[in-house]
Structure 1
Amino acid sequence: MSSPATGRPAGRNLTVEVWIVLGLSLGASGVYAVVSLIRKATLPGGLGGQTATLNASRDDREVFDFVYQVLGIGFALVPVALALYLLSLDPVKERVTERLGLDRHHARFDALWGMGLAAVIGLPGLGLYGIGRLLGITAQIIPAPDISYWWTVPVLILAALQNAILEEVVVIGYLMTRLRQKSWGVAATIVTAAALRGSYHLYQGVGPGLGNFAMGLVFGYWFHRTGRVMPLVIAHTILDVVAFVGYLLLGDSLGLK
């Protein structure tokens, strides 16, 4: 038996399921990020004197650095597979990709809105980062490794895509679906998903945490209104590619390194 409105399966404890999925993925990241924030805030110089490296080298030897980077990207997507599999067990007619708006039926719509959302989120995000640095509540973010190889740019693009898929599928597609199935209100669902997004960015400082919380509100409302995750994946990928690759290629000339 299931609810015809939500497709919620009977006989399954969705609360336990959600905690397991988050505990294996971004929920754990949120806990570590809070601890990292406290640690950095209590070091000499406070948050403003610390750094947060997003795509650090994994090994001094090029071949092992490459292998570790690719393995890290691949295994980071396992929680996405788990979330999609669990959603696919729900008694609904649509395939899980169609249900979350991850199909290719609206490619033009998804691409245009993805680019638009990236522009809307990107500029205010830079502003919050700058304000946070001035106030000393945000660490200096280093988006790319100091040492680069011929494969660094492609791997950074893959890392951006991995971040987008993981966060948007788990936080927006999976978590919001499960909370609505548990009869949470729309506002509570959106705010909770946004708070989770902000939490696992706190290792970068208060500014990025607040910026990602605001991003989560926009993305959550988008999913509530359209039911499509793909534009969010596209927007998130664009934002991270610009940050990662832009810093690597233009960081010196812009005085960011």
Structure 2
Amino acid sequence: MRIREWVGPPRQNQVPVVTDPRERKSLWFEITIVLLVTFGTSALSSMFSLADSLLAGDLSEQTVALNTARASNSLLDLLSQLLGVARLLAWGALGAYLLWRSGIALRTMGLARADRRDAGHGVGLAALIGLPGLGLYLVAQAIGANLTVAPSTIDDHWWRLPALCLWAVANSGAEEILVVAYLVTRLRQLGWGENSSLVASALLRGGYHLYQGFGGGLGNVVMGVVFTRYWQRTGRLWPLVVAHALIDIVAFVGYALLRGRVGWIP
């Protein structure tokens, strides 16, 4: 897809604006509850975590781990990891179900049957976001605006790499369904413009990554702008899921394999 095709005005809204006051109030209640159960609370927790890190001293001298051991016993750790993956998948399923239950088809959400074009666009989006994102992280960490991020500190069990891949898929599914498809669709129903919805989605994405520091928050805001605009222009969500999963798999698995073997990896 040419760049000008998705940076321009979004395609026509496919969901009607809700005008009934009771239905509008119900939508606001639903959005609030869903975000409090999922990424809204995560954003608030990330803000508190960043504040605590700032009070503790230089951000670049502190480390935050994304995937950690959850039990000392290997089997219990694996079961706990799988439970965390299931919770994220349930978050994504909740968002999709609420939209479907209110009469919005999976195709409208962008979850029509995936094809090879979705995979190709996903790889392109992963490269577009992943490579500059790594550069932004290194710069932010160097100037003290970001914590040192350790994508995984899980012990070297036989199941570690498959579990990290499952985490990547669960992260991508939950975030793209809830933060893009669900949230923007509901805001459309409330009469929000496409640019306002895009900003809200991108800020939410950046907010729940603030525990990594200012660089992590800013980088994910940029990712949110690109991903949300792509979805608004194309109506396809699968490329976002593919791209996000690829970025996380490279980060999680690459770190696990290279840690201790490459000097600049903490």
Identify whether the pair has TM-score above 0.5, normalized to the shorter chain: yes
**Could you tell me whether the CA contact under 8 Å between 1:8 and 1:91 is conserved in 2?**
no
Q: CA offsets per residue over residues 54-105 of structure 1, 9 Å max, x none?
A: 000001110110110001110222222221121012235xx3x21212222x
Residue aligning to 1:213: 221
Q: Does 1:25 align with 2:38?
A: yes
Q: Aligned partners of 1:120 and 1:251: how far apart in 2?
A: 25
Alignment of 1:1-257 (within 5 A): 6-7=15-16, 11-12=22-23, 13-43=26-56, 45-92=57-104, 95=105, 97-104=106-113, 106-255=114-263, 256-257=265-266
The separation in 2 between residues aligned to 1:15 and 1:46, in whole angstroms, is: 39
SS at match of 2:172: helix
Contact 1:133-1:139 at 8 Å conserved across structures: yes
> Partners of 1:215 and 1:245 in 2: how far apart?
21
**Residues of 2 paired with 1:113 and 1:146: CA distance?**
31
CA contact 2:17–2:191 (8 Å) conserved in 1: no
Which letter does structure 2 place at the counterpart of 1:110? D
TM-score by length of 1: 0.93
SS at match of 1:149: coil
The 2-side partners of 1:112 and 1:217 are apart by 20
- How large is the Cα RMSD of the aligned pairs? 1.5
Q: TM-score, normalised by structure 2?
A: 0.90
* C-alpha distance in 1 between matches for 2:194 and 2:17: 17
Distance 2:228 2:88 in 1: 22
Distance in 1 between the 2:184 and 2:138 partners? 31
Whether the 8 Å CA contact 1:111–1:231 is kept in 2: the answer is yes
- Measure, in 2, the Cα distance between the counterparts of 1:195 and 1:19: 16
Instruction: Give the conservation status (yes or no) of the 8 Å contact 1:171–1:193.
Output: yes
Separation in 1, partners of 2:217, 2:52: 16
| Unaligned stretches of 5+ residues in structure 2 | 1-12
Q: What amino acid is the match of 2:87?
A: F
User: 2-side partners of 1:244 and 1:48: how far apart?
Assistant: 20
Q: Displacement of 1:156 after TM fit?
A: 0.2
Distance 1:242 1:227 in 2: 26
Q: What secondary structure, in the 3-state scheme, does the structure 2 residue paired with 1:143 have? A: strand
Q: Secondary structure at the match of 1:183?
A: coil
Instruction: Tell me how far apart the structure 1 counterparts of residues 214 and 101 of structure 2 sit (CA, whole Å).
Output: 38
Deviation of 1:151 after TM superposition, in Å, equals 0.4
Shift of 1:252: 2.1
**Partner amino acid, structure 2, of 1:76:** L
Report the Cα distance in structure 2 between the residues aligned to 1:61 and 1:112, rounded to whole angstroms: 40
Q: SS of the residue aligned with 2:152?
A: coil
Give the CA deviation at 1:253: 2.1
